[in-house]
Amino acid sequence: MTDLEILQKSVGIITKLTKVSYKDLISNSRKRVVVDARKILVYILREKYLMNYTSMANLLRKTHGTMIYSYNYVKNCSKFNRDINRLKVRVDAIQDDNTIELRKKLLNIIADNKTSNNKRLNMILDILYYEEAHPLRNDPLRLDKS
């Protein structure tokens, strides 16, 4: 997925949540609703898609310092700012299709009562082992078969 595709997907999320358009997001508007939406957009791009600050800045026509400030604001000030917290909670609850599929696989394995516990656990570990950036990639754990 390219940065532009990620931005389009993220803007779609923000537009649904806040009713703020892409045109407003990249504008210099200082209206509270637009500023908050822009900060949440930066949060999504960083948290969900691991986009770097420079790429975000180029896409949103801002400086990378603004991107850093916006991300940190959402991370730290959501405890004190009710509007930001409400948006952050809703964004954090959004699952992508891969996460949903992974959860379904794992729940099906857990629900299978015909297979031994050790075998089910090994199946789960195999799935997690092959997931990207999972800590088990470097040190897979295996249970003795019984």
State residue 70's pLDDT score. 96
Same domain, 84 and 124: no
pLDDT of residue 133 exceeding 50: no
Same domain for 84 and 116:
no
Looking at the fold, whether 58 and 85 belong to one and the same domain comes out as yes
Q: Are residues 107 and 79 in the same domain?
A: no
What is the Cα–Cα distance from 21 to 34, expressed in whole angstroms? 9
pLDDT of 98: 63
Percent of the chain clearing pLDDT 70 (strictly above): 84
Residues 73 and 86 in one domain: yes
Q: What is the CA radius of gyration of the chain?
A: 20
Mean per-residue pLDDT of the chain: 84
Predicted confidence at residue 24, as pLDDT, reads: 93
Number of domains in the chain: 2
40 close to 78: Cβ distance less than 8 angstroms: no
- Which sign, positive or negative, has the C-alpha torsion 30, 32, 35, 38? negative
Domain that holds residue 68: 3-93
**40 and 63, same structural domain?**
yes
pLDDT digits (tens, 9 = 90+) for 5-58: 999 999 999 999 999 998 999 899 999 999 999 999 999 999 888 899 999 999
pLDDT band, very low/low/confident/very high, at 71 (cuts 50, 70, 90) = very high
Residue 76 falls inside a structural domain: yes
CB 25 within 8 A of CB 41: yes
Phi, psi of 16 (to 5 degrees): -65, -40
* pTM of the entire predicted model: 0.67
